[in-house]
Amino acid sequence: MVDVTPKEATHRRAVARCRIHMQPETASMIASGAITKGDVLAVARVAGIQAAKKTPDLLPLCHPLLVGSVYINFTIEDSYVEVEAQVETFDRTGVEMEALTACGVAALTVYDMCKSVDRDMTIGELALWEKTGGSRGTYRRKSLEASIDEALEQSSAGLAAASVDGLDPDDLD
């Protein structure tokens, strides 16, 4: 386990997101409260909060810390539910793992509560979207669209430079 005792305690925050892909009918049933097991999002929210607090029990080298707050939010779209977990603390180590765990367990709870109507659901795209605090400062994930645009710009710039240098861009592999 990494020794965090020499580190200064700071305010730390992490945001994670994932999606549960499902049939449009399932998303509609969640939105209208028609799932027979009960209020899917309320139960998933509580499960996510519990998971954030229990993260060190699940991940052997994850430091126990005082979780200051956990927020679990959902966005229902036509064919998926997006889960967002935000965790905050004032401590010597970050809460990225708590946010990821909360998000994943909330998604698993949605799956569990809806599996009787949709066995084709998939859970994916679990990722850290933001982290603040600590010695490394702020991290923000770029959206997929922004990453693609940046890659295209770099690729175009490279081809333009090759043309200027007298190389034929069509000869580049």
Q: Which pLDDT band holds residue 106 (cuts at 50, 70, 90)?
A: very high
User: What confidence tens digit (pLDDT) does each residue in 44-90 have?
Assistant: 999 999 999 999 999 999 999 999 999 999 999 999 999 999 999 99
Percent of the chain with pLDDT over 90: 75
Q: Domain 10-141: give its CATH code.
A: 3.30.70.640
Note every long-range contact of 124-127, with CB atoms under 8 Å and residues 24 or more positions apart, other chains counting.
Answer: 124/18, 124/19, 124/21, 125/17, 125/18, 125/19, 126/16, 126/17, 126/18, 126/100, 127/16, 127/17, 127/18
Domain ranges of the chain: 10-141, 142-173
**pLDDT score recorded for residue 149:** 72
Give the pLDDT confidence of 145-156 residue by residue, as tens digits. Answer: 666 677 777 777
Report the pLDDT value the prediction gives residue 88, as an integer from 0 to 100: 98
The active-site residue out of 3, 57, 78, 112 is 112
Pick from 144, 117, 138: nearest CA to 19? 144
165 is catalytic: no
The tens digit of pLDDT for each residue in 11-35 reads 999 999 999 999 999 999 999 999 9
